[in-house]
Amino acid sequence: MAHDRWGAGVSVACDPILPEALWERLSPDAPLADHWTLLLLTVSTDGYPHQAMLSCGEVVASDRHDLTLAIWPESTAARNLDERPRATLTTVVDGTSWSLHVATTTAGEVVTPLARRLRRFRARIARVTYDRAPYALLTSGVTFQLNEPDATRQRWRGLRTVLAEEIG
């Protein structure tokens, strides 16, 4: 880990592959992480980042280089990816802040019995960086509490199954 002159952590680049800690959460067979969020940062028409939140049910890793994303079709994020197909996914896992810089391509729609039609995007990892602070432990990124846990988990499982089936 690199540090600046005050001992603060500095972003470190690593191999452009999905880190093990994220593979354990995003592989097709990974258990659902109920409270965990990935932030999807796309580039808006004015050049500023646009933030959307994705759950573990909306992102599946096909391998260590590629992800599949399910995004609401009329969302700003989907529109931004259509027009500017680059994004960053950020999250915190095990005290580390991760950033996955991805190049995206449109890959049709996703339809599940429990969810409406969603847009499918393939996301190829182009760069991975991480940050850790030597003076503090990151305990979480954005987290949430499910209002209807059983129904939400059922929807996520169905969506992940469809995303994983179309990977191969």
128 neighbors 98 (Cβ within 8 angstroms): yes
134 neighbors 7 (Cβ within 8 angstroms): yes
The answer on pLDDT for 9 being more than 70 is no
Q: Name residue 3's beta-bridge partners.
A: 9
- Residue with tokens 């965990």, as numbered in its chain: 36
More confident residue, 121 or 151: 121
Q: Residue 168 has what pLDDT?
A: 53
Q: Which of 26-30, 106-110, 122-126 has the largest mean confidence?
A: 122-126
DSSP state of 162: H
Which range is least confidently modeled, 22-26, 35-39, 63-67, 131-135?
Answer: 131-135
Q: In terms of pTM, does the model score above 0.75?
A: yes
Residue type, 107: A
Q: Residue 115 has what pLDDT?
A: 62
Q: Give the pLDDT band of residue 46 (cuts 50, 70, 90).
A: very high
Using alpha carbons, select from 78, 81, 123 the residue that is nearest to residue 100: 123
> How many residues are there in the chain?
168
Residue type, 162: V
Q: Residue 5 has what pLDDT?
A: 45
Indicate the average pLDDT of the chain.
Answer: 88
Q: Residue 142 has what pLDDT?
A: 83
More confident residue, 82 or 142: 82
Q: Residue 80 has what pLDDT?
A: 98
Q: What is the dihedral of CA 146, 150, 155, 161, to 10 degrees?
A: 120
Each domain of the chain, given as residue ranges in start order, spans: 12-159
Q: What are phi and psi of 140, to 5 degrees?
A: -170, 165
Classify domain 12-159 by CATH number: 2.30.110.10
For the stretch 47-106, pLDDT in tens is 999 999 999 999 999 999 999 999 999 999 999 999 999 999 999 998 899 999 999 999
The answer on pLDDT for 3 being more than 60 is no
19 neighbors 130 (Cβ within 8 angstroms): yes
Give the per-residue SS3 of 68-92: EEEECCCCHHHHHHHHCCEEEEEEE
